[in-house]
Amino acid sequence: ETGVTQTPRHLVMGMTNKKSLKCEQHLGHNAMYWYKQSAKKPLELMFVYSLEERVENNSVPSRFSPECPNSSHLFLHLHTLQPEDSALYLCASSQDGWNLANTGELFFGEGSRLTVL
């Protein structure tokens, strides 16, 4: 199993649909993240979970709803999205997410390419 696995790799949905992105990490990490990657924009941190508790929510619209049932799994529930939400959504994990003693390396999945029609 690769370190961080995301499904689906590609998703096309209409604005009225409800779908979910899934992320699973096999690295024994205790922090997980959702990032949004759009062309010509900085990689945007959306949500952070540390020890299954949400510790960061960067003013993300409520049409994006994260869920972290345990330290290995992270979901991003999507509903009534807009075309401008089309992007690559990247999941990442790290160990001791907020500990200054380590280098803070993030391990990324391959991403879910979302297209909203």
Partner 1 sequence: GEDVEQSLFLSVREGDSSVINCTYTDSSSTYLYWYKQEPGAGLQLLTYIFSNMDMKQDQRLTVLLNKKDKHLSLRIADTQTGDSAIYFCAERGGATNKLIFGTGTLLAVQP
Residue range at the interface with partner 1 (CB under 8 A); choices 13-21, 35-43, 59-67, 76-84: 35-43
- 17: Cβ–Cβ under 8 A, 6 or more apart, which residues? 78, 79, 81
Q: Which of 13, 27, 45, 60 is in the footprint of partner 1 by CB under 8 A? A: 45
Of residues 67-96, those binding partner 1 (CB under 8 A): 90, 92
Interaction between residue 103 and partner 1 (CB under 8 A)? yes
Residue range at the interface with partner 1 (CB under 8 A); choices 13-21, 68-76, 78-86, 100-108: 100-108
- In order, the DSSP letters of 49-111 are EETTEEEEE-S--TTEEEEEEETTEEEEEEES--GGG-EEEEEEEESSTT-TTS----EE---
Interaction between residue 26 and partner 1 (CB under 8 A)? no
Residue type, 90: L
Task: Write out the residues near partner 1 by the rule CB under 8 A.
Answer: 4, 6, 35, 40-43, 45, 48, 56, 90, 92, 98, 100, 103-111
